[in-house]
Structure 1
Amino acid sequence: MRLDKYLKISRIIKRRTVAKEACEGGRVSINGKTAKPGTEVAVGDEIEIRFGDKVLRAEVTRLAEHVKKDEAKEMFQIIENN
């Protein structure tokens, strides 16, 4: 699954265009490497997103094309949020 789509479906980022812009701006990395919006995401990958001086690190635990709002939190596990 594409990174920008995953971020939107998992509701880590609310809009796909915002997720795409974050990736293009170099603020998102997967397993320590800067990622583009089309980078493929797999279960077990570690995603790091930088929002200004804050950093969110999460591990991908599940992939799904469609999920309900309350099930979206099962798609990732937060490692660090500061």
Structure 2
Amino acid sequence: MRLDKFLKVSRLIKRRTVAKDVSDQGRVLLNGKEAKPSTTVKIGDVLDVQFGQRTLTVQIERLTESTRKEDTLGLYTVLKEEARKREEDPFGL
């Protein structure tokens, strides 16, 4: 399955076009390497997705072409969630 489609089906990202844009910006790592939207993902892969000031690390558990909202919990396991600290503003703004 394509990376952008998995991000949408798993509801990590709401829209496939947004998932494509995020991947194109280099904010998604697949097994520690920058991934393009068309990269194929498989069960056991580890994704690092950067959302603004936080990074979510998940492991893919199951792949499916479509899913209901209630069934998304089994698609991945959250391994780590980190919040990055904002850099100090030297001007106090």
**TM-score of the two chains, using structure 1 as the length reference:** 0.97
SS of 1:80 mapped into structure 2: strand
Distance across 2 between alignment mates of 1:27 and 1:53: 12
Distance across 1 between alignment mates of 2:11 and 2:4: 11
1:20 equivalent in structure 2: 20
1:59-74 equivalent positions in 2, closer than 5 A: 59-74=59-74
Q: Does 1:43 align with 2:43?
A: yes
Indicate the structure with greater helix content. Answer: 1
How far does residue 68 in structure 1 lie from its aligned partner after superposition? Answer: 1.1
Query: Identity, % of aligned pairs?
Result: 45
Gaps spanning 5+ residues in structure 1: where? none
SS of 2:38 mapped into structure 1: coil
**TM-score of the two chains, using structure 2 as the length reference:** 0.85
| Paired residues, number | 82
Gaps spanning 5+ residues in structure 2: where? 83-93
Alignment deviations for residues 20-50 of structure 1 (CA, whole Å, 9 cap, x no partner):
0000000001000000000000000000011
How far does residue 51 in structure 1 lie from its aligned partner after superposition? Answer: 1.5
Q: Which amino acid aligns with 1:55?
A: T
SS of 1:57 mapped into structure 2: strand
